């Protein structure tokens, strides 16, 4: 009988098969196929649906930015350099000013990363954007999810949870003072893909991904695919001053399960700490050590005292959640 399946179950069950020609198939941030001489081509696709991934009345400029940003973030998570993208767009109607803003938001970010729009499709339908993005990465230097090793440090770029904090205000879960909301809202509306960081991590980090569905669930993908476990210091998770002023429960919810920050979570051997400090300085982007990979399976959350920390949150799942 038909029964609800989780998003990940669905994909695994029906659409995941071993690849023969491609170097890497379904299951990582990007697929890898043979690219131009001296490169692999990293490919990723994302679909954003109105009412699901963004509010129907979101400013079109933000929407254009975000739709491309989440795809560039997948390239960043592989250590790939953006090269080109395609856009498929379903629109309920075609209003010129709205489209002009959408294009401006998208193409401005594209230009910033030298990522060319090379093709697309437009049709009438419920507002939906699907982008496929292409990037270059030197052979065997892609940052894959299956490459974490016991003893690796776990790192997070920037800060986690502000996008979730803004979303909670939007949803009425809590009410932030106006200046705080204004400060965190861009983390939800116009996220910054960590492209330069991803490229800098080639040959330094082992495993990596971008935090788009929540750290606990996303880190779980690295653990599962690398067949390792981890401990995570929930009090060490980097957060903004605004989030640090919220009740502890809210802070944990936002840092552990908040999606949409598009920071990178990566693992690296302990002897890379100095190199990583240099990268953080060069990019003016904080990198915070938040835990370590263990040989035993499972994710163990601890607080700053090292005591076990209970938390019931799980990664946001588009199908399992109500």
Q: How far is the CB of 126 from a second copy (least distance, A)?
A: 4
Whose Cβ is closer to a second copy: residue 50's or residue 275's? 50
Whose Cβ is closer to a second copy: residue 59's or residue 269's? 59
Distance (Å) of CA 27 to CA 86, 101, 144, 216, 254: 21, 33, 10, 17, 25
Whose Cβ is closer to a second copy: residue 180's or residue 210's? 210
Q: How far is the CB of 118 from a second copy (least distance, A)?
A: 4
Q: How far is the CB of 75 from a second copy (least distance, A)?
A: 12
Q: How far is the CB of 5 from a second copy (least distance, A)?
A: 5
Q: How far is the CB of 46 from a second copy (least distance, A)?
A: 5
Contact 173, 280 (CB under 8 A): no
Q: How far is the CB of 89 from a second copy (least distance, A)?
A: 7
Whose Cβ is closer to a second copy: residue 2's or residue 308's? 2
The sign of the CA dihedral 164, 84, 156, 319 is positive
57 annotated as belonging to a binding site for a ligand: no
6 annotated as belonging to a binding site for a ligand: no
Q: Burial level of 137, CB count in 10 A (0-12/13-18/19+)?
A: buried
Whose Cβ is closer to a second copy: residue 115's or residue 156's? 115
213 annotated as belonging to a binding site for a ligand: yes
146 annotated as belonging to a binding site for a ligand: no
287-294 vs 264-268, strand pairing mode: unpaired
Cα angle for residues 11, 131, 79 (degrees, 5° grid): 80
Distance (Å) of CA 83 to CA 15, 39, 286: 27, 12, 26
Whose Cβ is closer to a second copy: residue 41's or residue 184's? 41
Q: Can you give the length of the chain in residues?
A: 322
C-alpha span between 19 and 23 (Å, rounded) = 8
3-state secondary structure of 183: helix
46 annotated as belonging to a binding site for a ligand: yes
221 annotated as belonging to a binding site for a ligand: no
298-302 vs 229-233, strand pairing mode: parallel
210 annotated as belonging to a binding site for a ligand: yes
Residues annotated as binding site for Mg(2+)? 29, 44-46, 74, 121, 210, 213
Positions at the binding site for substrate: 53, 260, 316
């Amino acid at each position: 009988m038909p029964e609800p399946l989780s998003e990940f179950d669905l994909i695994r069950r029906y659409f995941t098969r071993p690849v023969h020609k491609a170097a890497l198939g379904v299951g990582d941030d990007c697929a890898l196929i043979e690219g131009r001489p001296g490169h692999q081509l990293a490919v990723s696709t994302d679909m954003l649906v109105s009412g699901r991934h963004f509010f129907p009345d979101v400013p079109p400029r933000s929407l254009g930015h975000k739709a491309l940003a989440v795809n560039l973030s997948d390239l960043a998570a592989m250590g790939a350099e953006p090269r080109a993208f395609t856009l498929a767009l379903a629109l309920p109607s075609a209003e010129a000013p709205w489209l002009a803003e959408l294009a401006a938001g998208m193409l401005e970010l594209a230009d910033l990363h030298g990522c060319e729009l090379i093709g697309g499709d437009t049709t009438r339908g419920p507002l939906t954007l699907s982008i496929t993005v292409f990037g270059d990465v030197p052979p065997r230097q892609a940052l894959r999810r299956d490459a974490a090793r016991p003893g690796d440090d776990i790192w997070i770029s920037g800060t986690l949870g502000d996008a979730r904090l803004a979303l909670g205000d939007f949803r009425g879960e809590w009410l932030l003072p106006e200046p705080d909301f204004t400060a965190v809202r861009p983390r939800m509306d116009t996220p910054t893909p960590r492209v330069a960081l991803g490229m800098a991590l080639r040959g330094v980090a082992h495993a990596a991904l971008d935090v788009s569905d929540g750290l606990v669930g996303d880190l779980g993908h690295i653990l599962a695919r690398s067949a390792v476990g981890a401990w995570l210091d929930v009090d060490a998770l980097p957060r903004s001053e605004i989030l640090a002023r919220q009740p502890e429960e809210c802070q944990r919810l936002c840092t552990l399960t908040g999606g949409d920050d598009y920071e990178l979570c990566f693992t690296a051997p302990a002897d890379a700490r100095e190199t990583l400090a240099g990268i953080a300085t060069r990019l003016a982007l904080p990198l915070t050590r938040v835990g370590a990979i263990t040989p035993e399976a499972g994710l163990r959350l601890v607080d700053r005292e090292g005591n076990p920390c209970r938390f019931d949150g799980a990664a946001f799942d588009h199908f399992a959640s109500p």
